[in-house]
Amino acid sequence: MEEKKNFSKVLSGATFGIDAYIVEIETHLEKSMLSFTIVGLPDNAVKESRERVTAAIKNSGLHFPGKKITINMAPADMKKEGSSFDLPIAVGILAAEGMIPTGQLEKTIFLGELSLDGALRPVKGALPLTVTARNKGFTRVVLPLDSVKEASIVEGVEVFGFTKFTDIILFLTGKLDQKPEITDTTELFDSLNKYHLDFSEVRGQENVKRALEVSAAGGHNILMIGPPGSGKTMLAKRIPSILPPLSFDEALETTKIYSIAGLLPHGTALITERPFRNPHHTVSDSAMVGGGAFPRPGEVSFSHFGVLFLDEFPEFKKNVIEVLRQPLEDSVVTVSRSKMSLSFPANFMLVAAMNPCPCGYYTDPTRECRCNGYQIQKYMSKISGPLLDRIDIHIEVPAVKYKDLTSTEKGEPSETIRERVIRARELQRKRFENFQHIRTNADMGSKEVRQFCKPDKAGDSLLKSAMTNLGLSARAYDRILKVSRTIADLEGEADINAVHLSEAIQYRSLDRELWNE
């Protein structure tokens, strides 16, 4: 044992947005009346560490110093929350008492929650904390075994997982030989995007499938309008199966979001499939975009690089629908509080579905609609014009015909559609390789639209006629050009012609007079 120094410094970390920062846990022991104080803006969960740490050390059969204990968490002006500081506080106390060699604490990050018997419980944010540790030059991370999988995908740092506090003490004193956890990311991606749902299972609806293919190829938001039972939800759930595979960087960023929210499935090292989120229409605005006293991500961030599906779109509260406008435009959500402002990524594909009227049968040729014109207009007005302008594709989903329902022929499989989508995305990747923050055609601003979406003479004439007759807004004009660019990419053509524009214009159902009579 080293000579008692009554002071130690242990390094840990805390999340801020989807990233993390290093927290220094300074411990000072003083021969005085027994007390245990934690300073440095701890929240209630951190203050309660005193009881957990005291019981864990004693129940592990270790000596708990009967002294005045002062814990300082630096930087002291940043609010500290959560239970992941239990482990570094316990290690700091024993190191200050001389029970752990201080040399073992250098270049090492500790995080973990302690149970009263000294067992280690998983923590949130292990992945972003490990990424930050590596970027700051730390070589070792010690954490609970249940959190080790996600942390071990970070190369350049050794990650050690433990189930008991006593094992960590033995490891730090050289009495336990522990191997670092290693995860092969190549093996993880071998099973990438093996979806159970497939477009071949969908009967009929070929025009809707085509619209979804265009939507996936260009990253366009899409709204499906059709009567109940027409297959809108069935189609939406299969969209991830035609999206390109996640790259490693995309998978890492997506996993970080789930990690800080504590939603990463147990034993999962990396999210390798594109997210599909389907919140209920009773969701609150803070649950949708993020919020809380200490802000956490919302559904739009959990859908990052994936699909956010909003079924029964007009049934969502108006304020919830309207808060989508900013993340749809900027692909990021900023949550501001009096003492902090956090940003969460939200680059998602919005897929919404709705009935054409309150009863659902306004456009159904076989069922009689019971709604009058006022009821239909009131129903449609729940979705504002500015939000509709941010949805590139509006497509009508008719009721499925009997002959399609009873057909034994299988439709085109998702894998075939996906190959076309990947080829179109590759064209976009090359097109925008010198443009930061532009991944797909849907991400283009007005400047890029003018540069890359120039129609030929016949196409320009067609677009002028459509703008005049349909009364489209300037934003809708840009949307049509973006979609036509994607259609041309799917065809492998460099120029946008009248055929591409004609199809793109057909994807603006709600701009016609159908619901405005």
Q: Provide the CA 220 distance to its chain's centre, in angstroms.
A: 17
Can you tell me the distance from the alpha carbon of 266 to that of 143, in angstroms, rounded to the nearest whole number? 15
The DSSP bridge pattern shows strands 276-277 and 307-310 to be parallel
**Residue 191: its pLDDT value, please?**
56
Counted residue by residue, the chain has a size of: 517
Tell me if residue 11 falls in helix, strand or coil.
strand
Domains of the chain with bracketed CATH: 7-183 (3.30.230.10), 199-439 (3.40.50.300)
Whether pTM exceeds 0.85: yes
List per-block mean pLDDT (blocks of 10 residues) for the chain, which spans 517 residues.
72 91 95 92 91 96 94 92 94 94 90 96 94 95 94 94 96 93 77 74 89 96 92 94 92 94 86 93 93 86 96 92 90 81 92 92 84 88 83 90 71 93 96 90 91 90 84 79 96 92 87 48
Reported as a single tens digit per residue, the pLDDT across 201-243 is 888 888 999 999 999 999 999 999 999 988 899 999 999 999 9
What is the pLDDT at residue 512?
A: 53
Q: What is the DSSP string of 45-58?
A: HHHTHHHHHHHHHH
State residue 517's pLDDT score. 44
The chain-wide mean pLDDT, for the chain, equals: 89
**pLDDT value, residue 516:** 46
- Rg (C-alpha) for the chain, rounded Å, is 28
Crossing angle (nearest 10°) for helices 474-490 and 457-470:
140
HEC string of 247-304? Answer: CHHHHHHHHHHHHHCCCCCCCCCCCCCCCEECCCCCCCHHHHHEECCCCEECHHHHCC
